Structure 1
């Protein structure tokens, strides 16, 4: 089974580190695209979680990258600084299965 990796602010990352998830603190959203490109090459990662506060400023640049990405699956999670919205579990499952 592959690894889960979290990219986010120091608070989000520290929460995931407490449960043993590999994490990466990123302060500058403009560096997110380069980080994703590097992580895509790692065979051991199956899921990348990105905090919403990093994703939102560069959404237009990143969306096409996320849509074409099959493995690892990349998804956005809320952070302490973002508004919480309901998660569309059905679309996440369909996307994970390659139908979205």
Structure 2
């Protein structure tokens, strides 16, 4: 099974690290594209989680990257500093299977 990598604030990264995921604290949203590029090159990563607070400022740029990737699956999750919205799990699973 592949690894899960979280890119986000230090609180959320610490939480996910205690659950066994990799994590990298990203304080500047404008380096998010560089971080994703380095993770894309790894064969051992299947899922990248990005906290909403660092995703929102660079949404258009990240969406264009995500739309061209088949692996790893990249998804946005809420953080303590962002407003949460319901996650469409069915859509996320279908995308991971190549149907979305």
| Long gaps (5+) in structure 2 | none
Q: Which runs of 4+ in 1 moved over 2 A?
A: none
Partner of 2:28: 28
1:10 aligns with 2:33: no
C-alpha RMSD of matched pairs (Å): 0.7
Q: Residue in 2 aligned with 1:98?
A: 98
CA separation in 2, counterparts of 1:74 and 1:56? 14
Q: Distance in 2 between matches of 1:2 and 1:45?
A: 5
Cα offset, 1:21, TM superposition: 1.0
Matched, 1:88 2:96: no
| Superposition TM-score, scaled by structure 2 size | 0.97
- Shift in Å at residue 20 of structure 1? 1.6
Q: Unpaired runs of 5+ in structure 1? A: none
TM-score scaled to structure 1, two decimals? 0.97
Tell me the matched-pair count: 100
